Amino acid sequence: MSKQYQFKLVLLGESAVGKSSLVLRFVKDQFDDYRESTIGAAFLTQTVTLEDQTSVKFEIWDTAGQERYKSLAPMYYRNANCAVVVYDITQSASLEKARTWIRELQRQADPNIVIALCGNKTDLAARRQVTQEEAKKYAEEEGLMWGETSAKTGEGVNDIFTAIAKKLPLIAPPSARGATRGAAGAPARTGVDLNKQPVAQNEPCNC
């Protein structure tokens, strides 16, 4: 029987580095040149099937623009199994910002979180300001995964998510394995489900 996992993935990075575009490419294989800031879904999901038939479903949370004025809620990091921290290879300031996000994750998020540093916009390599060596060195020092992508052409996008999908099941806490319920990040939900109508009769009391 093939194994199934589900993980919560959060995106981080400065505004306009292409976080949403990256997800849109990964989930829907689309790109929109004039995409404005994020409006839309609560979160998107995409499943990666590995060579050994293990399937890894990502529940992907976008910042919904709340990162712009330092207003991301702690809820955003809560129970995140992995984070993709995006910078723009044509803006060296965006790598600095990525470092800040990574420190924030190390402070706020689960200590076991898998962090991938992602240099986006390789289609604009002519204007590159961040070298591969520099980013890779930093990633190695901090124990992060690293990759470069172009949400516009699709280059490297599947590779980075697949690499995360391969790494996660190996280090995920046992509670995350085979999580069954749809919504939750890591552990299968144990609490009450408000969406479920009362099982008991509709009488005002259960007598």
Structure tokens at 88: 């723009």
Query: Nearest approach, Cβ of 8 to another protein (angstroms)?
Result: 11
Choose between 1 and 200: whose C-beta lies nearer to another protein.
200
Choose between 111 and 126: whose C-beta lies nearer to another protein.
111
Angstrom distance (rounded) from CA 19 to CA 149: 11
Query: Nearest approach, Cβ of 195 to another protein (angstroms)?
Result: 5
SS3 40: coil
CB 31 within 8 A of CB 151: yes
CB 147 within 8 A of CB 163: yes
**Total count of residues recorded for the chain:** 207
Query: Nearest approach, Cβ of 135 to another protein (angstroms)?
Result: 29
Using CB under 8 A, list all residues that contact another protein: 38-43, 64-66, 68-71, 73-76, 78, 108, 182-184, 189-192, 194-195, 198, 200, 203-207
> Closest Cα to residue 59, out of 82, 39, 37, 75?
82
Choose between 100 and 153: whose C-beta lies nearer to another protein.
100
Query: Nearest approach, Cβ of 66 to another protein (angstroms)?
Result: 5
